[in-house]
Structure 1
Amino acid sequence: MAIKASRAPLSRERVLSAAVALADREGLPALTMRRLAAELSVEAMSLYHHLAAKEALLDGVVETVIAEIVPAGGAEPDWRARLKQQFLAAREVMLRHPWMPGLLGSRRTVPTTVFAYYDGIVGTLVGAGFSYRLAHRALHALGSMPLGFVQEVFSPGAAGGDFDPATAEAEMAALAEAMPNITAMVAAEIHAAGDPTLGWCDSQTEFEFTLDLMLDGFERLRAKG
């Protein structure tokens, strides 16, 4: 008699892992309960035992990806080096999942794991001598950088990894006469093909430049007391 192959039991962790893999492979729009159930070879209703609705699924996906950020530089004596390494580790995660910045921006509530992640950042700042007031202001100034990307005011293609420099250059060239300075700047700053990009002006070079500038500024404020 043939032996039926055993299948790993369905769990919240297994569902979310499959959801992240599906979004990586086919994009976030492909992530539906029905499509995910097919990936797992189960009925769609089975998923609702682990995730109450599509919004719960998306929040769980956020939690799963945030959990991939392994804080680096824990032994670094300099708080700036410690945070920089952590933020760059977060960026590596976002580059693996380029749909993630857009998903984070769409959440109606902040998943607990995101709060916990920021709690660790505040702890690093306060441990370095920042007051809670200055730490609060630093978080506002940093914006989304602790999560490894920058949220741009102007973001053709959004922060979802679909930015095409060639398209942007063509669009700006069409407006060259009306906006000569912006056009010249864009032409000079179109990112090299090897520079990882998560949005309109979110290249690795610009991310690290801005991060260093802000951390150095915070250090001057901290030193003032």
Structure 2
Amino acid sequence: MRRLAIELHVEAMSLYYHLRDKEALLDGVVETVIAEVGAAVTRPDTKGGGEDWRTRLRRQFLAARHVMLRHPWAPGLLGSRRTVPAVVLAYYDEIIGTLVGAGFSYRLAHRALHAFGSLPLGFAQEIFSPESAGGNMEDDAAEADLAATAENLPHLTAMVAAEIHDSTDPTLGWCDSQIEFEFTLDLLLDGLERLRG
């Protein structure tokens, strides 16, 4: 709060007339990011005509990813909230509405939300991350780690070696490239289409 006050050229205590605490400020930042996602999604469809549910959700999730790539700190912020901000609940309500409007039951829509995980917000939340554990996924460090573990974990090591990301591929984590994001999204949408029938 002190840093923000310095940036705004005000006294730190004056911020508390507008915000109850730092958490309220961070919740407001989340609301702003989700509003930015909403604005990106509701831009006019340049192709014209209506969209089917898969096209709509794919476009929505990719718009969210575009926003997250502009704000790579946002996935961590979203994951740190103590409560789910109302704007995030409304965002997911719209996703459920798209699924139900396409003929999915609420039961299948609920399961779809679990399967999607964090994809609707534009990133893939990994179950573990070497960086969060104090590791480093820079090329030199990654190669040294691979060499040290290749004997004990040959298949995992070979997969990681084959999948080390090109520095031009936009990522939001050590294992969240654009290609992986779109592969997972398309796999889920295709599977849901089969289940809907």
Q: Is TM (by shorter chain) over 0.5? A: yes
Q: Assess, with a 3 A threshold, how the Cα gap between structure 1 residues 105 and 169 changes in structure 2: closer, same or farther.
A: farther
Higher relative CO (CA 8 A, sep ≥ 6), structure 1 or 2? Answer: 2
- Equivalent residue for 2:97? 123
In structure 2, C-alpha distance between the alignment counterparts of 1:154 and 1:125, rounded to whole Å:
30
**Deviation of 1:193 (Å):** 1.4
- Residue correspondences, number: 188
State the Cα deviation string for residues 16-38 of structure 1 (Å, max 9, x = none).
xxxxxxxxxxxxxxxxx000000
- Equivalent residue for 1:89? 63
Q: Assess, with a 3 A threshold, how the Cα gap between structure 1 residues 88 and 169 changes in structure 2: closer, same or farther.
A: farther
Q: In structure 1, give the amino acid aligned to 2:9.
A: S
**8 Å contact from structure 1 (residues 154, 200) kept in 2:** no
In structure 2, C-alpha distance between the alignment counterparts of 1:168 and 1:123, rounded to whole Å:
43
**8 Å contact from structure 1 (residues 87, 148) kept in 2:** yes
In structure 2, C-alpha distance between the alignment counterparts of 1:170 and 1:102, rounded to whole Å:
27
Aligned to 2:10, the other structure's residue is in SS state coil
**Deviation of 1:169 (Å):** 3.6
- Equivalent residue for 1:214? 188
Q: Assess, with a 3 A threshold, how the Cα gap between structure 1 residues 92 and 99 changes in structure 2: closer, same or farther.
A: same
- Of 45, 53, 61 in structure 1, the residue corresponding to residue 21 of structure 2 is 53
TM-score (norm 1): 0.79
In structure 2, C-alpha distance between the alignment counterparts of 1:204 and 1:65, rounded to whole Å:
20
Q: Assess, with a 3 A threshold, how the Cα gap between structure 1 residues 49 and 169 changes in structure 2: closer, same or farther.
A: farther
More deviation in 165-174 or 184-193? 165-174
Gapped regions of structure 2 (runs ≥ 5): none
Q: CA RMSD in A?
A: 1.7
- Equivalent residue for 2:36? 68
- Equivalent residue for 2:163? 189
TM-score (norm 2): 0.90
State the Cα deviation string for residues 200-219 of structure 1 (Å, max 9, x = none).
21000000001000000001
In structure 2, C-alpha distance between the alignment counterparts of 1:76 and 1:101, rounded to whole Å:
31
- Residues 109-148 of structure 1: pairs in structure 2 closer than 5 A: 109-148=83-122
- Equivalent residue for 2:10? 42
In structure 1, C-alpha distance between the alignment counterparts of 2:187 and 2:163, rounded to whole Å:
19
